[in-house]
Amino acid sequence: MTYAATLVESRTATAPVTSRTGLARFMRRICSEIGAQRYMLVQPSVERGPKSVSIITSNWIFDALEDLGSEGIARILESGIAAGAGMRSRALLAAGASFLTTEDRRALRDHGHIETHCRRLVADGTTVYALFSSETSGEIDGDALSRIHMKCCYALVQFFAATGGRASADPLSERERECLMWVSEGKTTDEVALILGVSSNTVNSYIAHAIQKFGASNRAMAIATAIRSGII
């Protein structure tokens, strides 16, 4: 086998994803499999507060990122348009997406994101969104998109396991998480105190810490953030 052939071989063979470079290589291969040019793996950022996102890896050009901004990306993630495993996805601009502002649409269109699909990936309880775009409408293969969905989830599990990225996605202590879980089940502070065998002041302080860590404005938002990011 020639050196070039070995290179091609190693590029097409399935290998565990253990680094950011590996993840980017994996995503490029996925893109060519489904007919997309641009990809982005992105998470709502619980630490940085509402409307902020943290991008794990992407091959978007800088201008496109700047024009859409983290707020624009957050609007896409929060809109509920993302398709889960086993679901068909609708293209962003074609779906008459009313959650996008005129500027968002222009940013996407100007930078060649004509057909964009958003998939909601779950990797061991952590939610990550994948955006796939093509420069021409109708180029992305819908069947292939649902086929590669789980593969992307597996790759993320491996990536998080290898890089310890999941730890930062869950900033709560075990006690704080427990308190939020019970509050989300409709328990009052006093009831949670009884269940956990601590005082209600302690429960309130756990919850206050969780609210602070999420940059949330109140309990309801902290609960919602925790559920959305799969912590509870």
Partner 1 sequence: MVSAKFTDQTPELSHDRDEIGSLVEAVDLCHDLAEKLGAEGFTLLFAAAQGDARRLVPLFDETFPGISSLTRALTGPDTANFGRQVSTTTCPMWWRAKGAASFLDASARVWSIEAVPPVTGSSIIIFPVSSDGRRNGAIVFAGNDMSIDEDTLCEAHAACFEIFAQVAQLRKQDGNTQRPMSKRELECLRLTANGLTSDEIATALGLSVHTANQYLTNSTQKLNAVNRIHAVAKALRCGMIA
155: CB partners within 8 A, 6+ apart = 17, 23, 26
Strand partners, 81: none
153 binds partner 1 (CB under 8 A): yes
- One-letter amino acid for residue 211 of the chain: I
Strand partners, 127: 122
Give me the least distance between CB of 206 and partner 1, in Å please. Answer: 15
164: CB partners within 8 A, 6+ apart = none
Instruction: Answer for the pair 58, 72: CB distance below 8 angstroms, yes or no.
Output: no
Give me the least distance between CB of 61 and partner 1, in Å please. Answer: 28
Instruction: Answer for the pair 178, 198: CB distance below 8 angstroms, yes or no.
Output: no
Which of 32, 86, 102, 197: binder of partner 1 (CB under 8 A)? 86
Chain positions 52 to 71 lying near partner 1, rule: CB under 8 A, are none
The strands making up 115-123's β-sheet, listed across from edge to edge, are 53-58, 38-44, 126-134, 115-123
147 binds partner 1 (CB under 8 A): yes
Give me the least distance between CB of 111 and partner 1, in Å please. Answer: 25
Instruction: Answer for the pair 146, 170: CB distance below 8 angstroms, yes or no.
Output: no
Give me the least distance between CB of 55 and partner 1, in Å please. Answer: 20
Instruction: Report the residue number, 64 or 232, with the smaller CB distance to partner 1.
Output: 232
Residue in the structure block whose two tokens are 């091609």: 8
Residues touching partner 1, count (CB under 8 A): 44
Which of 79, 168, 200, 205: binder of partner 1 (CB under 8 A)? 79
224 binds partner 1 (CB under 8 A): yes
185 binds partner 1 (CB under 8 A): yes
Q: Can you give the binding site for partner 1, defined by CB under 8 A? A: 13-16, 50, 78-80, 82, 84-87, 122-125, 146-151, 153-155, 157, 178, 181, 183-186, 188, 216-221, 223-224, 227-228
